[in-house]
Amino acid sequence: MALRDTHVTMAHGGGGRAMRDLIDDVFTSVFQPPDTEDQARLMDEALREPGARLAFTTDSFVVTPLEFPGGDIGTLAVCGTVNDLAVGGARPLWLSAAFIIEEGCEIALLRRIVASVAAEAAQAGVRIVTGDTKVVERGKGDGLFITTAGVGVIPPGLDLGARHIRPGDAVIVNGVLGDHGATILAARGDLALSVDLASDCAGLGHLMQAALAAAPGLRAARDCTRGGLASALNEMAAEAGLAVELDETRLPLRPEVAGVCEILGLDPLYLANEGRLVLFCPPDQAEALVAALRRLPEGQGACVIGQTLPAPAGRVTLRTAFGGARLVDMLIGEQLPRIC
């Protein structure tokens, strides 16, 4: 039955007809899962290849505001999980999506977000094969939380990982940094900043396939989400037992993102991204890799930003425009404005 309510109530989580209507009308009619059973039953030709491996990941999404320039929590929920699979070399295939909805959430908003999930999934070539909804009382949730899990297939012989990184490897990003973090900061409104920026939120599955084709020696890739490029590089440098040296003059930044950072005293290297990854490859394949990335919309701003050095292990430094250097450390906690 078509849903006539305008807002989600506790009845929509109660297990009765109201819940059935919500699920049918808002979710399954859009996602059209292959099966009505409680579990998805899956097969893909890629799995039949000897040596193929499953990749499996999960991520939860919370964001304020739920909708922002360039995306919403739904696009994040698909892209985040798709990207976690893609950076490991997997071809993303299936996603689950669980929605924790706060009582009072507007159903029109929910429909828009579900539409985003569906559109982003179609774009990434994945199917939403199973899902769940829960409703929590007003004040017990932040509008909407989404958890997605994803399954993909890694083809035989492909093994990406930080442990394969070697000294002298090129460090590459696929575009300008910090757009998502700066967009969210401005969109929250409590700092009263207004700026024409949009989140970089994007699924990177196709980009990773292009990267693998262009640079067969690709060592590792990671998406730079929370904690930004700096955090991703610190993790990878530690895992690889190598140092990373960035070149400040090569870091791609929009002037508006630099502006938000100057106003609030923030470092763009720590701003969140939702459609950016950092890749490591042998130096002689860097040029081909950058060229391949640039051919795709989500790789327009691709460039080499630095290189790996044999030591000291786990250290990330930034060479400044004057040849000075500074350490790019892990954050202690959340990055806070530094104003007074």
Site residues (vs another protein, CB under 8 A): 186, 190-196, 255-256, 258-260, 262-265, 312, 315, 317, 320-327, 329, 332-333, 336-340
For residue 231, which of 175, 273, 183 has the smallest C-alpha distance?
A: 273
| Least distance from another protein to the Cβ atom of residue 73, Å | 22
Q: What values do phi and psi take at 74, rounded to 5?
A: -70, -45
Is 25 in contact with 2 (CB distance < 8 Å)? yes
Element (H, E) at 57: strand 53-61
The rounded distance, in Å, linking the Cα atoms of 92 and 54 is: 10
Is 204 in contact with 174 (CB distance < 8 Å)? yes
The rounded distance, in Å, linking the Cα atoms of 262 and 74 is: 30
> Which residue number, 137 or 329, has a Cβ lying nearer to another protein?
329
| Least distance from another protein to the Cβ atom of residue 330, Å | 10
Is 284 in contact with 169 (CB distance < 8 Å)? no
| Least distance from another protein to the Cβ atom of residue 303, Å | 19
**For residue 135, what are the β-bridge partners?**
101
> Which residue number, 149 or 330, has a Cβ lying nearer to another protein?
330
> Which residue number, 48 or 338, has a Cβ lying nearer to another protein?
338
> Which residue number, 197 or 305, has a Cβ lying nearer to another protein?
197
> Which residue number, 164 or 315, has a Cβ lying nearer to another protein?
315
> Which residue number, 3 or 330, has a Cβ lying nearer to another protein?
330
| Least distance from another protein to the Cβ atom of residue 251, Å | 14
| Least distance from another protein to the Cβ atom of residue 335, Å | 9
| Least distance from another protein to the Cβ atom of residue 222, Å | 23
Residues across the chain: 340
Token readout for 183 is 């967009």
Q: C-alpha angle 273/160/280, rounded to 5°?
A: 55
The rounded distance, in Å, linking the Cα atoms of 262 and 188 is: 18
**For residue 286, what are the β-bridge partners?**
none
Token readout for 155 is 């083809």
The rounded distance, in Å, linking the Cα atoms of 200 and 174 is: 11
| Least distance from another protein to the Cβ atom of residue 312, Å | 7
> Which residue number, 38 or 196, has a Cβ lying nearer to another protein?
196
